[in-house]
Chains A and B, each alone.
Chain A
């Protein structure tokens, strides 16, 4: 028993290697017993869970450093589109006030676009009705009486307008799910087309029918029907351009996260760069594991040690020979016997072992807790059949028995910030309600999940900037690279065209598959 405690406290020296301490120095393998673990080993029954404090300090420092880099990077990039300039200034605004909704410029643009489209739509919808009604209103007495054909056309106009209305509602009346920097080219084109079209119809109507007070009412109604037909065709064009064209996959897109190299591939059709960026981001929240800055401290400290390892003394006198200095540093670094790889290897093996041990403890503790619940439930059933235990109470009852193991595991895998005690209790109550097994309960904590799984405050990635050398409304091409930046990291997107596949056929005679099994038998007679 004591031996186990001893080993536990020995390795707990490494658990201090968390994001809390900025100077994460590891002076060899200290074997000093930390007081915290001693308290933990003594008091097994009473457990105090401290919700880990948020880490604005470390986060701010890291992002501030990156922001300095970003500014320089933005200036040295040759072809910057209007988008990227606009976006970098937005980044500064976001740093001061964490609310993008305050910026008025973007809202105006969005609402302007919506109002224009709405007004145009209404106008277009009312035009055929106006065409039919205006002669009745203005020169009713002169009009020829409307025969059966004419009245049949009324029905046709009514139904076509209804179909157009339903189609437009289905296609266009949707919640905008994103705010894009530039306008949709195809949508703008369609709006212009519709406007010109309706304008020309009105022009013709005004000149030839209103001015001359045409009495052929059937002709007027047919004119209105032709307008509605043409509108239906424009609607078809809108479907093809906006929805159907990008369905067929033409490009394969590789998305790499800059901080830890996690990468995914997606298939896209013919899209503009901004829409492709939108698709990538929507999939990012689902597919990529959540960004955890605590996991990067190890590589950062290693990098810092590399830099600090060599000091250059200028012996020849005051001379600003910067390039000579760096050359000397590189040469010296290549020559010295660097044992940091050894350190890395042992550290990683150690960490792996520690994680596995803690995980085993956690799994056992959770399984015991869940069997306890089952026993309680069975008892309750026997005592008062039909009376179920409140899952929240059950969760609170068994939580202390596994809390310590869970917290230790989360600390070791550096996930402790993502799970507060309240969220763990809620998840436990949820699992008990839905009769989940301990493994199903633990699935959330054993491995980091996608960003959507966690609380919005811990996302680190809510505002995105699209940086691209080409115009963001231009279509995807083979070899295009664009970057989606948020404050702490960026996603580098590389576009490749799906190769043209040449498929040829080969005819195989079915007889070639038939085998005659011929034996050589011998019969005695």
Chain B
């Protein structure tokens, strides 16, 4: 048997949680075109300068919506996130007048493919 890795896209809708004066999403991002891509632990291609999810707070709105650590955020509310700086990404996610953010994320997945053996 051997492992197959593939990526698939997922749409995730997160409803922001109000905490005092802020609206929080409950996860942390890393990456950006102004960051060092070689230090990204989640990317498969070490030149990938996209935005990745580095942490998800337990019980937060992101976890509830199904976001996982290691997801690469491709779009936020229709805005492209593959070629943005770290700060631009943060700004796009934390707009004060938005309560809901719709993310398009890419996730790597490893699946075991079990070879059908003729001999059992």
Contact = CB atoms under 8 A, between A and B. Distances in A.
A521 B30 contact: yes
Contact of A521 (B24, B25, B35, B55): B35
Interface residues of A, number: 8
Given A518-B36, A519-B35, A525 B30 contact: no
Interface string B69-94: 00000000000000000100010011
Contacts of A523: 28-30, 86, 90
Interface in A494-525: 518-525
B39 interface: yes
A525 B28 contact: yes
B16 to A, nearest CB: 9
Interface of A is mostly: loop
Contacts of A524: 24, 27-29, 55, 57
A436 B93 CA distance: 78
B10 interface: no
A518 B35 contact: yes
Contacts of A521: 30, 35, 86
Contacts of A520: 30, 35-36, 39-40
Interface string B25-60: 101111000111001100000000000001101000
A302 B94 CA distance: 94
A525 B34 contact: no
Contacts of B94: 525
Contacts of B27: 524-525
Contacts of A525: 24-25, 27-29, 90, 93-94
Contacts of B28: 522-525
A277 B120 CA distance: 107
Contacts of B30: 520-523
Contacts of B36: 518-520
Contacts of B35: 518-521
A487 to B, nearest CB: 79
Interface in B6-21: none
Interface string B84-120: 0010001001100000000000000000000000000
B102 to A, nearest CB: 15
A522 B51 CA distance: 10
Most buried by B among A518, A521, A524, A525: A525
Contacts of A522: 28-30, 54-55
A243 B30 CA distance: 74
Interface string A270-283: 00000000000000
Nearest to B30: A522
A521 B86 CA distance: 8
Contacts of B57: 524
A505 to B, nearest CB: 34
Interface string A107-131: 0000000000000000000000000
B71 to A, nearest CB: 13
A524 to B, nearest CB: 4
Nearest to B62: A525
Nearest to B39: A520
A525 B28 CA distance: 6
A518 B86 CA distance: 11
Contacts of B25: 525
Nearest to B25: A525
Nearest to B101: A525
A518 B34 contact: yes
A518 B49 CA distance: 12
B63 to A, nearest CB: 13
A525 B89 CA distance: 10
Nearest 10 Cβ contacts at the A-B interface = A518-B36, A524-B28, A520-B39, A525-B93, A522-B30, A525-B25, A523-B90, A522-B28, A522-B54, A525-B94
Given A524-B28, A524-B55, 4 more contacts: A519-B36, A521-B35, A522-B54, A524-B29
22 contacts: A519-B36, A520-B30, A520-B35, A520-B39, A521-B30, A521-B35, A522-B28, A522-B29, A522-B30, A522-B54, A522-B55, A523-B28, A523-B29, A524-B27, A524-B28, A524-B55, A524-B57, A525-B24, A525-B25, A525-B27, A525-B29, A525-B94
Interface of B: 24-25, 27-30, 34-36, 39-40, 54-55, 57, 86, 90, 93-94
